[in-house]
């Protein structure tokens, strides 16, 4: 070795500096905290809702552990009420409602319509901070004594309990406005910012789904807002409209609450439908079967879902005519929902299905949602519901849709767009194992709940008669398996960010604009304003070179 060698390491091949993208285009805390970039806001949502999901999951595991023994293993009855309420409230208001629109919707939807951002970027950032304030208030409510009303806050108990109902009410009010502003923003974006050539019927179905969701967010959530406000007023100065001591009517609360909360179940599930629609097409390499049917059924669901809230109140003493009407409309809303399920299955049918992890999650969704949706129809039958109402059958039904379908669709979307968002791939093998664990664990948790519910096990009880023990124990074991699968997923996803195995420029061979944009997308999404000249899901236009190339 001589002393005058030039200071150049000839061993390393010259690497191009990484292209500028939304992750590296600016640095520092402020560049994130004050960002107006929909992708960064989406990532912040992703972190937030994931933390909420994991906390909600911890509460769930505590509930299940407690129920291992008929007398209850961990808590007093009062503590148990708090734990299951925390589980429900965190999952519904901090996770399921904001999760998909806030994170994947924010990141992917503007890309899909070829926009540089959402229409109102500052409002978008505000939505995120409102979510954050709501989350902080929810945690504060725990510190201030917790809340034990169940996620439904039924009056009159919610008026009389000495817990921090006002604080959690404010949290929900603020979270509601976060949701409203997101919806409003997305409606305007879809209407006004579509790139040239993206006609309404060239919009990917995820955009349609997010759009239908947004309508519900804007039109249903204010009613929830006023409802929790009225509960707070009732507690603060006895306004009297829900309080039977003062001539108020607790059933009015139920009407108000479900007028929001039934549409809310579609606020939760429509984005999941959107993800599944994308994924079945891309991973079967086939245009969607019944594109327009799926698009219109989203809108139909959005409308009909405003008319079925009474099916949560079959036992609350409504008039017979109201009961019939609500039951009939409940069967009716199942039709557009079933249309979707059939369209997806028909899309997968004879497609060249790639059994990668996003598709495995999708297939899991298709199976689980069929069960979840059909048990909803069973509950919509008046005479059957009189028996099943407030039993574990209902618990199992809505977990099949909320956890088994919506959360799984969220995972599917996360795995699908992960390479897009970060330019890295996770370990596919581990992903498949985790998916299998989650699928098995989920069914082991909730199938027994259908059985014990139909045999009369009431929901929300801290103790039970020993006859139910085998079902509860099976359910608890299932929950542990499910928890293991989720923990594994969190670990390999985070690990992928550290290992940084490069993703492909177009990892799955998608043809919608989100896959045409560079990976990861630059700050303004596209290097040139995109112009779309072909139909959506037209795989003959696929640029195979970009599929093979590593991303920058």
- Using alpha carbons, select from 446, 60, 92, 461 the residue that is nearest to residue 262: 92
CA distance 505 to 180: 34
> With CB cut-offs between 5 and 8 Å by kind, which of ligand HEM, other proteins, Cu ion, none does residue 379 bind?
ligand HEM
SS (H, E, C) 398-421: HHHHHHHHHHHHHHHHHHHHHHHH
215 versus 431: smaller Cβ distance to other proteins: 215
Residue numbers 248-267 binding ligand HEM by CB under 6 A = 265
Residue numbers 177-236 binding ligand HEM by CB under 6 A = none
Residue numbers 244-303 binding Cu ion by CB under 5 A = 262
163 versus 397: smaller Cβ distance to ligand HEM: 397
CA distance 193 to 25: 23
- We find the least distance from the C-beta atom of residue 241 to other proteins, in angstroms, to be 5
152 versus 484: smaller Cβ distance to ligand HEM: 152
72 versus 404: smaller Cβ distance to ligand HEM: 404
H or E element that contains 55: helix 38-66
- We find the least distance from the C-beta atom of residue 427 to Cu ion, in angstroms, to be 39
Task: Determine, following the binding rule CB under 6 A, whether residue 334 of this chain makes contact with ligand HEM.
Answer: yes
Structure tokens at 269: 């599930």
Q: What share of the chain is helix, strand, coil (3-state, %, to 5)?
A: 70, 0, 30
Task: Quickly count: other Cβ atoms within 10 Å of residue 29's Cβ.
Answer: 7
Structure tokens at 419: 């390479």
CA 272 to chain centre: 6
241 versus 379: smaller Cβ distance to other proteins: 241
262 versus 415: smaller Cβ distance to Cu ion: 262
How would DSSP label each residue in 89-124?
A: HIIIIIIIHHHIIIIIIHHHHHHHTT-SS-S-HHHH
Interface with ligand HEM (CB under 6 A), residue from 115, 174, 268, 438:
268
218 versus 414: smaller Cβ distance to other proteins: 218
- We find the least distance from the C-beta atom of residue 290 to Cu ion, in angstroms, to be 25
> With CB cut-offs between 5 and 8 Å by kind, which of ligand HEM, Cu ion, other proteins, none does residue 391 bind?
none
Structure tokens at 375: 């048990």
- We find the least distance from the C-beta atom of residue 329 to Cu ion, in angstroms, to be 11
Task: Give every CB contact of residue 89 below 8 A, 6+ residues apart in sequence.
Answer: 138, 147, 151, 168, 172
Interface with ligand HEM (CB under 6 A), residue from 66, 163, 311, 340:
311
Q: Is 236 exposed, middle or buried (0-12, 13-18, 19+ CB in 10 A)?
A: exposed
Task: Determine, following the binding rule CB under 5 A, whether residue 389 of this chain makes contact with Cu ion.
Answer: no
Burial 33-53 (b: 16+ CB within 10 A, else e): eebebbbbbbbbbbebbbebb
Total residues at interface with Cu ion (CB under 5 A):
1
- Using alpha carbons, select from 187, 176, 182, 178 the residue that is nearest to residue 212: 187
- We find the least distance from the C-beta atom of residue 269 to other proteins, in angstroms, to be 22
> With CB cut-offs between 5 and 8 Å by kind, which of other proteins, ligand HEM, Cu ion, none does residue 377 bind?
ligand HEM
Task: Determine, following the binding rule CB under 6 A, whether residue 399 of this chain makes contact with ligand HEM.
Answer: no
Residue pair 510/485 in contact by the 8 Å Cβ criterion? no
- We find the least distance from the C-beta atom of residue 434 to other proteins, in angstroms, to be 37
Which listed range, 18-26, 136-144, 191-199, 396-404, lies at the site for ligand HEM (CB under 6 A)? 396-404
CA distance 508 to 211: 25
- Using alpha carbons, select from 171, 150, 170, 173 the residue that is nearest to residue 161: 150
Task: Give every CB contact of residue 460 below 8 A, 6+ residues apart in sequence.
Answer: 81, 84, 150, 390
Residue 13 gets which letter from DSSP? P
**Which residue has its beta carbon closest to ligand HEM?**
376
Interface with ligand HEM (CB under 6 A), residue from 286, 340, 389, 420:
389
> With CB cut-offs between 5 and 8 Å by kind, which of ligand HEM, Cu ion, other proteins, none does residue 334 bind?
ligand HEM
- Using alpha carbons, select from 203, 18, 216, 211 the residue that is nearest to residue 111: 203
Kindly list the residues in this chain that would bind other proteins in the complex (CB under 8 A): 19-20, 115-121, 123, 180, 184-185, 187-188, 191-193, 218-219, 221-223, 225-227, 230, 233, 236-241, 243, 245-249, 252, 256, 522, 524, 527-529
Q: Is 548 exposed, middle or buried (0-12, 13-18, 19+ CB in 10 A)?
A: exposed
Which listed range, 75-83, 131-139, 371-379, 423-431, lies at the site for ligand HEM (CB under 6 A)? 371-379
92 versus 437: smaller Cβ distance to ligand HEM: 92
Task: Determine, following the binding rule CB under 6 A, whether residue 385 of this chain makes contact with ligand HEM.
Answer: yes
Give the interface with Cu ion as residue ranges (CB under 5 A). Answer: 262
Footprint of ligand HEM (CB under 6 A): 152, 265, 268-269, 311-312, 330, 333-334, 337, 373, 376-377, 379-380, 385, 388-389, 394, 397-398, 401-402
């Amino acid at each position: 070795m001589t002393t005058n060698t030039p200071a150049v390491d000839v061993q390393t091949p010259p690497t191009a500096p990484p292209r500028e993208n939304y992750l590296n285009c600016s640095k520092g805390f402020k560049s994130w905290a004050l960002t107006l970039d929909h992708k960064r806001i989406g990532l912040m949502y992703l972190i937030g809702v994931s933390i909420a999901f994991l906390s909600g999951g911890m509460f769930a595991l505590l509930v299940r552990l407690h129920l291992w023994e008929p007398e209850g293993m961990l808590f007093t009855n009062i503590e148990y009420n708090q734990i299951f309420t925390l589980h429900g409230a965190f999952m519904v208001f901090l996770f399921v409602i904001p999760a998909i629109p806030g994170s994947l919707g924010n990141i992917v939807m503007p890309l899909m319509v070829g926009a540089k951002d959402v229409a109102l970027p500052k409002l978008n950032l505000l939505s995120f901070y409102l979510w954050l304030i709501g989350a902080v208030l929810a945690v504060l409510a725990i510190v201030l004594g917790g809340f034990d009303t169940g996620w439904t806050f039924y009056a009159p108990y919610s008026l009389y309990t000495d817990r921090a109902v006002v604080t959690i009410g404010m949290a929900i009010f603020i979270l509601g406005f976060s949701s409203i502003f997101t919806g409003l923003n997305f409606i305007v974006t879809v209407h006004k910012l579509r790139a040239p050539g993206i006609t309404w019927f060239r919009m990917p179905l995820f955009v349609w789904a997010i759009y239908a969701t947004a309508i519900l967010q804007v039109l249903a959530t204010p009613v929830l807002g006023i409802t929790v406000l009225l509960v707070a007023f009732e507690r603060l100065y006895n306004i009297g409209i829900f309080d039977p001591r003062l001539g108020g009517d607790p059933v009015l609360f139920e009407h108000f609450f479900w007028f929001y909360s039934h549409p809310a179940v579609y606020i939760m599930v429509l984005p999941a439908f959107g993800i599944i629609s994308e994924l079945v097409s891309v991973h079967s390499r086939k245009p969607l079967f019944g594109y327009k049917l799926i698009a219109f059924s989203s809108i139909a669901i959005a409308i009909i879902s405003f008319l079925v809230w009474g099916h949560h109140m079959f036992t609350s003493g409504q008039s017979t005519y109201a009961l019939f009407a609500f039951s009939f409309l409940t069967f009716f809303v199942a039709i557009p929902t079933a249309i979707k399920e059939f369209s997806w299955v028909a899309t997968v049918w004879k497609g060249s299905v790639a059994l990668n992890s996003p598709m495995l999650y999708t297939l899991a969704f298709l199976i689980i949602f069929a069960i979840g949706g059909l048990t909803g129809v069973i509950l919509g039958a008046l005479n059957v519901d009189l028996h099943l109402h407030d039993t574990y059958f209902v618990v199992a039904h809505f977990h099949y849709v909320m956890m088994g379908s919506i959360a799984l669709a969220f995972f599917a979307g996360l795995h699908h767009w992960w390479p897009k968002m970060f330019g890295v791939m996770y370990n596919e093998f581990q992903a498949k194992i985790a998916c299998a664990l989650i699928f098995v664990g989920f069914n082991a948790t909730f199938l027994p709940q259908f059985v014990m519910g139909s045999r009369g096990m009431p929901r929300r009880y801290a103790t039970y008669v020993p006859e139910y023990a085998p079902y509860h124990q099976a359910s608890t074991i299932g929950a542990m398996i499910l928890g293991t699968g989720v923990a594994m997923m969190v670990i390999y996803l985070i690990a992928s960010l550290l290992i940084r195995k490069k993703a492909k420029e177009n990892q799955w061979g998608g043809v919608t604009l989100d896959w045409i944009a560079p990976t990861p997308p630059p700050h303004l999404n596209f290097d040139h304003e995109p112009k779309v000249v072909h139909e959506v899901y037209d795989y003959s236009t696929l640029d195979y070179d970009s599929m093979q190339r590593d991303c920058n």
